[in-house]
Chains A and B, each alone.
Chain A
Amino acid sequence: MTPNQSPLKIGVVGLGKMGIMHACLLNTMPNVEVQALCDKSRLIRTIAKRSFKDATVTDSLDKFADLNLDAIYMLTPIPIHYPLIKQIYTKKLAKHIFVEKTLTSNYNQSAELSTIAQTQDSITMVGYMKRFSTTFNQAKQLLEEQAIGKPESFKAYAFSSDFANTPKSTPASNARGGVIEDLGSHIADLAVWFFGDLTVTDTKINSQLSPTSEDDLSFNVTTKQGLPGHFDVSWCKQNYRMPEFNLSIQGTTGNLDVNDDEVKLTLKNSPPKHWYRHDMNDNVGFLLGGPEYYRENQYFIQSILSKTPPESNFKNTLSVDYLLEQVRRQSK
């Protein structure tokens, strides 16, 4: 931000866990003002009014109309991203949009929003925060340097215990849009980021909480170059206290394993190498929730200020939506 540039005015929609965290982080940034908050819950709005004293707090997105906002953070449950983002563009409530992943619940809706965003010159970003993890960045760099030669196959998983011991028919899991959007999208995004577009060859879904919920699934993919990959995704796994994302890549000269905590490089003709987050300067300006969140917010704000489209904008992340759509279709 240049010295005379006024701070960016931001609105936040949805004050759940992610909404509160993003609003707090944005409030620590020097070039940002959180000017408006929107949530359906009266209780949450009342607490928000007392915590964000200078912000307009409302239950209706339409109330953002007169605030001249630069950007809106869309942090509601996934199933309502589409109508609300469309409303932002139609009513010109703000020019730029950050949305917590995934962009929408289906590919066609995401593609439509991507087209609208391009016609309106909107800077957009989907919150695939794992791209801001030091370990996954290190692994991507090693892959690009061909540290394991030519990749021959990969395995990926995304596991959590969020619903490991919950009773069947728990409604909260359906509200979150199913495990493929909620958890699987992160690992799908990482794989697309690493290898490019993926085509799903077969899918297996195990619904554990209710007949219609996607709780546990596996699927196989292939890249345009023919690299095969396998995914396992579940939020019903025991002993995954925190969600865990892992990629294991087999190459012609070695293997590369990466998760949120560490990177392991096992080579055929030289000693293995092992890095932890501790080795990669993981510190950020303000730590809340995880360093990735601060970095992704900083990157989005900088993208608006520099008028540069973020790498994970609506258009580029359509590849992830397309992958998830294939999984959903094949599972029916």
Chain B
Amino acid sequence: MNHNPLRLIVGDNPFHGISHLSQQRARERTPPQTPQTTQQAAHIVERSVENGANGFMFSVDETTLAIIQQLRKNHPTSKTNLYAIAPYAYAYVRKATQTGGVSGLAMNFARNMLFSSNAKVITTNLGGLAQFNPSALLKTYTAYELSRIKSAAGNDAHIESFMLHEIITDMALALNMESLFKEYITFLENRHIRPGFETRNFSILIDKFNHWNIDLSKLTLTSSFNKVGFQMCPSKRECEEALKRAGGAEIIAMSVLAAGYLKPIEAVDYLTNLEGVSGAVIGVSGEHQADETFRVFRECC
């Protein structure tokens, strides 16, 4: 039984036109991106916060950075707790398609990072960058994304956690890249930002991190937890049991509504009986949904 109140975070999937339930449904619900939709999205985040959300979790890209800019414009003094996820894999995969593959994308990307990133980070990692060392590339990339967030949210932005997107986390897990994980964690800790990982393979991550003696209590981990076991690999039972071995990590449950397959009250019932989850990220696409969903979660969690 979960006795501590859950930290509730508003997610950005609806703003990107993502529905893991049905792409057809997402298409029907997603308006074209305009300044009005950015304002509307910022308003939905604000309504969610008014109704009990404690922060905003987002993939770093132009759409979400514009929303964050709008939030800052609407409320210059009030700081939303930010949970950033990078890279926004979809945008990069699409770019790779259009630029003729991964190597074309990598060259393009390296150029962007070199011209816009933190000079100190580049200098520190110069040796590693010259040798295309994955850890050095990741650290430079992280600095680049942090600079983008701060340019949208302000230098005093409250970044609760900076999380590695599932595609990178899970590839590095598959390849047992222990040193990459450790260097990334140290890099963020030195910048006083809580390191985080988004994963679709929660129990495997927990077991590998424990095996590598990574201090889980310093981390934020986001993964799927829902009543129907949707995207809980290798199984719902193994993911739930792994929570007991999570060593005090801040665990944020995603897909709690299984992409709209479940009703909020069903999600609440499941989460409140699940020991070890600290928070839940929930995407909402309209003001009424923001009011209703976060009210239900706030009252029951």
A residues whose Cβ falls under 8 Å from a Cβ of B? 15-17, 20-21, 24-25, 27-28, 41, 43-44, 46-47, 50-52, 162-163, 166, 170-172, 175-176, 239-242, 244, 259-262, 276-278, 281-289, 291
Contact = CB atoms under 8 A, between A and B. Distances in A.
Contacts of B137: 47
Nearest to B231: A287
Interface string B213-249: 0000000000000001111111110000000000000
Nearest to A262: B22
A5 to B, nearest CB: 22
B22 A282 contact: no
Contact of A287 (B100, B131, B170): B170
A281 B258 CA distance: 13
B24 A261 contact: yes
Contacts of A242: 23, 90
Interface stretch (B48-56, B91-99, B117-125, B284-292): B91-99
A288 B102 contact: no
B100 to A, nearest CB: 4
14 contacts: A15-B102, A41-B103, A44-B106, A46-B131, A50-B134, A240-B27, A241-B17, A241-B27, A244-B24, A278-B228, A281-B229, A286-B204, A286-B234, A288-B201
B261 interface: yes
Contacts of A285: 233-234
Most chain A CB atoms below 10 A, which of B103, B104, B167, B234: B103
A175 B103 CA distance: 14
Interface stretch (B2-10, B68-76, B171-179): B171-179
Interface in B103-153: 103-104, 106-107, 131-134, 137
Contacts of A262: 22
B230 to A, nearest CB: 5
B177 A166 contact: no
A261 B21 contact: yes
A195 B140 CA distance: 52
B193 interface: no
Contact of B232 (A172, A277, A283): A283
Contact of A43 (B99, B100, B103, B232): B103
Contacts of A166: 98
B101 interface: yes
Contacts of B17: 239, 241
A283 B233 contact: yes
B177 A51 contact: yes
Contacts of A51: 134, 175, 177
Contacts of B170: 24, 286-288
Contacts of B234: 283-286
Most chain A CB atoms below 10 A, which of B26, B97, B177: B97
B207 to A, nearest CB: 12
Nearest 8 CB-CB pairings of A with B: A41-B103, A24-B174, A287-B200, A287-B233, A46-B132, A172-B100, A261-B22, A278-B261
Interface residues of B, number: 51
Contacts of A276: 21-22, 261
Contacts of B90: 241-242
Interface string B237-267: 0000000000000000000001101000000
B19 to A, nearest CB: 8
Contacts of B132: 43, 46-47, 50
Contacts of A170: 98
A286 B233 contact: yes
Contacts of B258: 278
A41 to B, nearest CB: 4
A24 B24 CA distance: 30
A277 B224 CA distance: 15
B102 A172 contact: no
A46 to B, nearest CB: 4
B188 interface: no
Nearest to B137: A47
Contacts of B230: 277-278, 282
B186 interface: no
Contact of B98 (A50, A162, A261): A162
B273 interface: no
Contacts of B18: 241
B30 interface: yes
A189 B26 CA distance: 26
B23 A50 contact: no
B24 A284 contact: no
Contacts of B24: 244, 259, 261
A244 B76 CA distance: 41
Contacts of B236: 283
